Amino acid sequence: MLTDQSKVYYQVKESLVLIQAMYDKFHKEQLDLVQTYPHMVREELEDYDLAVRTYFAVDRTMPGDKEVCIALYCTALLTKCLTKSESTLISWGSRV
């Protein structure tokens, strides 16, 4: 016949085995989830890279073409200036 201490011991042992099984399941699920992160980060970076290149109208095959970048910047600056009122444009031009 089991003593009260033996009963408690077996109950504690069963509880610990259950906790270990639950933790192992949780740990495996978390590892599976975390292993998808590098792929997700890479996709986000590629999307961001595409958005930036599209916005600045540059291509990855010739990233060092400074003349194209300067021309695009000057065009954007000129467009911004032309959309301002004439008095603002004149005052801007007098500063140059």
Q: Are 81 and 92 in contact (CB under 8 A)?
A: yes
- pLDDT tens for the 96 residues of the chain, in order: 668 888 999 999 999 999 999 999 999 999 999 888 888 888 888 888 888 888 888 777 655 555 666 666 667 666 666 555 444 444 444 444
Question: What pTM was computed for the model?
Answer: 0.43
